[in-house]
Structure 1
């Protein structure tokens, strides 16, 4: 079993604004294992950035307990470390942000070297480490470029190299791809995944896009109004989302919502033939290996008109979704759907009468 490297227990964060008290985070508990890529998802104002800033005490909570790598750093309303101990602990936690936070007057190499200012390394050792880090993020040839000479993706790579300068065990990514185009976003996510595997880095991703989580995370937490409303493996959450907000995020990430709008506009769906059903099938793992459509006709004489199909790999497990029109004798459709359900495929009838 993996070691829990981050433990946030019963965290509250309350702000006082004039005479008002604002609760940004309310009674949130999250445990993150070493080596996880852990996504925290929520819309603006959900409290996710505030919660994650608690990890390195950039935001001191109002209540709760924080344990980082077996060290309790906050408890009983107090920081338990001395200022020197806290500085040392923060070296284990790197951060990257949406707007890169690079110093414009410094080259890429100088920006990375700045993080090594208090490292105790010699000038030569610093130069060697900076070169190694820039090579790690694919920017060895851009060492002498200034931020203004770099693309958004290149700036983020410099920021990642800088965040890795002190060999952290944890990397926090606060909406770090929000300012990037889709292609560059995928490249940065691939880099983070590579660093996770190569360095054993624990990564905490804050995002308002479930697509980001779907691409690289293995666990996900969903926040709303300062509360944790759902948490689990990416596979569990995508296969069986419980909360309405989570379901909305997933529909957007998979594109099924957009697809259904177009499907309902098709003539064959608006005028569904007699003895037909419009159904949605969701399946994962071994179920994706089954020739579902072929078997429906082979064993039950139920024909299928596929209107939408999608399959993805989530945390090394295939997950699929299909929308189709089933046509056949009502009794045959009933038996076919029973067999599909028994094969651990989730069936939702979108239009038409449930056959008895």
Structure 2
């Protein structure tokens, strides 16, 4: 059975701003299991970064309960641990950010070593530790480079190594790939995934991009206006999103939001025949292996013109979507749509011919 490492119960965070009360986080509860990569997705102002800062009490909530690695950190409206205990607990929680936060006048090696300033390790042990971390993040050959001599991806690798210096159990990544190009983003995500598997590191990943969550997370929470609106495994969320915002995020991540306007401009769609429908099909798991469109052609004499298709592997399970024009006589068409639904394929009718 999975062991919970972070538990946030009924967290409220309220700020006073110019005689006005701002509810940044409203009654949010979530649990994160040890060794999980947990994504928190939302647009700017959703409250995701504010929420995550309560994990190490950089942000003290107004109300709620926080348990980290078995220790009650905060309950109701009071911090439950001493300043010394909090300092020790924060050593177990590494953080990386969008803008790296490296010291410009220190080399990569010195930036990492700075995190060990208060470590009980000897000088030799610290040097050995820094070298291990440089090797771990693939920067052994850039140890004497200054931040200005490093690419964005290399700077983030230094920041990750620094965050790992005190052997944390939890790593918080706050929009850590937002300043990077797509290729470098993929490399950093692959590194985080490798660290998760190699070190058993629990990673809390904050982002406004569902694409990033899709690539490496086990579970995902979606936030909007300070509230948690949807939460589940990556497979559940992608195959059966409930909220409109979640669906929007997924459409961006899969590319269908870009494809659909182009499809709608095609003459064949604009002049859709009377006996045709434009449909979006969503399918999960074994249904992706079934020749469903071939079957409805044989069974109902319904032709299918595929205009768009996409398939992802999420948590070792195929998840796909397709946009197609189905055409045939009215009665057969309705029977075919029922048959597709019965094959564990979700059918959304986007347009009917007139």
In the alignment, the residues of structure 1 paired with residue 74 and residue 274 of structure 2 have an alpha-carbon distance, to the nearest angstrom, of 65
Alignment-derived partner of residue 169 in structure 1: 169
Alignment-derived partner of residue 79 in structure 1: 79
In the alignment, the residues of structure 1 paired with residue 25 and residue 220 of structure 2 have an alpha-carbon distance, to the nearest angstrom, of 17
Verify the 8 A CA contact 2:163 2:171 in the aligned structure 1. yes
In the alignment, the residues of structure 2 paired with residue 98 and residue 192 of structure 1 have an alpha-carbon distance, to the nearest angstrom, of 15
Superposed CA offset, 1:200-228 (max 9, x none): 11110111111111111111111111111
Alignment-derived partner of residue 181 in structure 1: 181
Alignment-derived partner of residue 113 in structure 2: 113
Counterpart mapping for 1:340-355 below 5 A:
340-352=340-352
Where 2:347 maps in the other structure, the secondary structure is strand
Verify the 8 A CA contact 2:274 2:353 in the aligned structure 1. no
* Greater shift in the superposed pair: 269-278 or 66-75: 269-278
Verify the 8 A CA contact 2:304 2:326 in the aligned structure 1. yes
Q: How many residues align?
A: 354
Verify the 8 A CA contact 2:93 2:172 in the aligned structure 1. yes
TM-score computed with the length of structure 1 as normaliser: 0.97
In the alignment, the residues of structure 2 paired with residue 234 and residue 248 of structure 1 have an alpha-carbon distance, to the nearest angstrom, of 15
Where 1:311 maps in the other structure, the secondary structure is strand
Alignment-derived partner of residue 201 in structure 2: 201
| Structure 1 residue 318 displacement after superposition | 0.8
| Structure 1 residue 333 displacement after superposition | 2.0
In the alignment, the residues of structure 2 paired with residue 242 and residue 58 of structure 1 have an alpha-carbon distance, to the nearest angstrom, of 32
| Structure 1 residue 353 displacement after superposition | 6.1
| Structure 1 residue 273 displacement after superposition | 2.2
Where 2:238 maps in the other structure, the secondary structure is helix
Alignment-derived partner of residue 11 in structure 1: 11
Where 1:322 maps in the other structure, the secondary structure is strand
In the alignment, the residues of structure 1 paired with residue 292 and residue 147 of structure 2 have an alpha-carbon distance, to the nearest angstrom, of 53
| Structure 1 residue 293 displacement after superposition | 2.2
In the alignment, the residues of structure 1 paired with residue 142 and residue 164 of structure 2 have an alpha-carbon distance, to the nearest angstrom, of 17
Where 1:58 maps in the other structure, the secondary structure is coil
Where 1:60 maps in the other structure, the secondary structure is coil
| Structure 1 residue 18 displacement after superposition | 2.9
TM-score computed with the length of structure 2 as normaliser: 0.98
| Structure 1 residue 286 displacement after superposition | 1.0
Verify the 8 A CA contact 2:173 2:205 in the aligned structure 1. yes
RMSD: 1.2
